[in-house]
């Protein structure tokens, strides 16, 4: 019964996209916390064969970052568009993605790049209130829609490209928070260590930490 009530809300939320959807568009809904959103996103990434375009207001999910990295290793083109706050945000994957060779841009033109979207193989559109973060998966009340429609994917891509084209490439090495970077082996992602010792009083984003993807 709850799902039936939510469908009209989803239609209102995603207009005008859904208003122009073809009759054969398939829509699946997922909810959090612990409703399968992250697993659905990762499965969709794993199934992609050609291209994945991402727009993320917040991106701190290591499992999703790992899935995108794995996609690039099998030849999928991955482009990630982030909000201006992400490069310096605590636990953000912005630097990790860039260091590991993914194409990342930061939208510094708009006051807020608030989209949470993935477009996969020009056919599948993922969107909703769900940020790509552990909080969205484990704590927050969120909704995620997976839409299979070439028409809607094309509309979303046109809007995504408008922001991608005016955004600035992210340069992780220019970030003062980054320490040494090394590649452990051909099968292991790079790691970096924040140069400062832990402190509860001094900028949480600069706390010493090691990010090990695998």
Nearest in space to 74 (alpha carbons), one of 99, 41, 52 = 52
Largest CA distance in the chain: 57
Containing 28, the helix (H) or strand (E) segment is strand 26-32
Cβ neighbours for 66, distance < 8 A, ≥ 6 positions apart: 189, 213, 214
How far apart are the C-alpha atoms of 41 and 25, rounded to whole Å?
A: 18
Q: Where are the alpha helices (DSSP H) in the chain?
A: 2-14, 37-47, 62-73, 94-99, 134-138, 150-165
C-alpha span between 87 and 127 (Å, rounded): 22
User: C-alpha angle with apex 157: 155 to 162, nearest 5 degrees?
Assistant: 105
Residues with active-site annotation = 114, 116, 121
Measured torsion, CA atoms of residues 183, 186, 188, 189, in degrees rounded to the nearest 10: 50
């Amino acid at each position: 019964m709850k799902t039936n009530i939510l469908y009209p809300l989803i239609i209102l939320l995603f207009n005008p996209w859904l208003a122009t959807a073809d009759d054969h568009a398939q829509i699946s809904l997922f909810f959090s916390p612990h409703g399968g959103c992250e697993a659905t996103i990762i499965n969709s990434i794993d199934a992609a064969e050609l291209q994945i375009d991402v727009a993320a207001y917040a991106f701190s999910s290591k499992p999703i970052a790992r899935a995108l990295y794995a996609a690039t290793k099998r030849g999928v083109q991955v482009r990630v568009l982030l909000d201006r706050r992400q490069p310096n945000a605590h636990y953000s994957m912005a630097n990790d993605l860039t260091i590991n060779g993914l194409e990342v841009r930061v939208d510094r033109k708009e006051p807020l790049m608030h989209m949470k979207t993935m477009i996969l193989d020009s056919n599948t559109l993922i969107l909703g209130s769900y940020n790509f973060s552990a909080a969205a998966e484990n704590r927050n009340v969120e909704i995620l829609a997976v839409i299979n429609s070439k028409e809607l994917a094309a509309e979303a891509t046109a809007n995504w490209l408008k922001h991608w084209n005016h955004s600035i490439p992210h340069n992780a090495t220019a970030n003062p928070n980054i320490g040494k970077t090394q590649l452990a082996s051909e099968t292991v992602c790079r790691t970096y260590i924040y140069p400062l010792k832990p402190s509860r009083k001094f900028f949480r984003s600069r706390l010493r930490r090691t990010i090990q993807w695998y």
